[in-house]
Amino acid sequence: MNKKSFEILSAIGSVVILIISLVLVEETGLTPEGYIVSFLVFVLLSTVLGLKLVKVDYGE
């Protein structure tokens, strides 16, 4: 998988996961803590995918 396709798929995937987690938070009623956990997971996932993108870029 080349860098450009990985970047596009990882961005779409992380946003889809964020949307799904926010919908689950609304359905379960865990609003204050659920939002924090959802955004924390989104930030961590984006960070990991960004680091993976750097490794794909340099071929490590």
Sequence-separated contacts (24+) of 45-54 with Cβ below 8 Å: 45/14, 45/17, 46/14, 49/10, 49/13, 49/14, 52/6, 52/10, 53/3, 53/6, 53/7, 53/10
What's the structural domain count of the chain? 1
pTM listed for this prediction: 0.78
Would the pLDDT of 55 be above 90? no
**Residues 8-53: pLDDT tens digits?**
898 999 999 999 999 999 999 888 889 999 999 999 999 998 888 8
Please give the residue range of the domain that contains residue 44: 3-58
